[in-house]
Amino acid sequence: MTETTTTLDKVKLNQSAKVIGLNSTKKEIKRRLLDMGLTPGVIVHIKKIAPLGDPVDISIRDYNLCIRKEDLKQIEVIIL
């Protein structure tokens, strides 16, 4: 495999990516992201970006989740 990993904030609008893992140092945030379904292997799709540029609305597990860019930075992904 030659796919390179990046973080979810780098993924562009309407692109999809596969989650590899979470790097969050804040335990609360990491747990929240896991609870909301951001587990390794799940596929996410960047759906909307808020009019002011942040947060971002991602489509995951059949629903829409809003996350700030600084938290997307903690999510390691492979762009599909």
Binding site for other proteins (CB under 8 A): 21-22, 26-37, 39-42, 48, 50-55, 57, 61-68, 70-71
Contact present, 77 and 70 (Cβ < 8 Å): no
What residue type is assigned to position 48 of the chain?
A: K
As measured in angstroms, the least distance from the Cβ of 15 to other proteins is 17
Q: Given the complex with other proteins, which of 65 and 79 has the nearer CB atom?
A: 65
Distance separating alpha carbons of residues 61 and 20, to the nearest angstrom: 16
DSSP-assigned beta bridge partners for residue 78: 5, 18
As measured in angstroms, the least distance from the Cβ of 29 to other proteins is 5
Structure tokens at 30: 């990491």
As measured in angstroms, the least distance from the Cβ of 47 to other proteins is 9
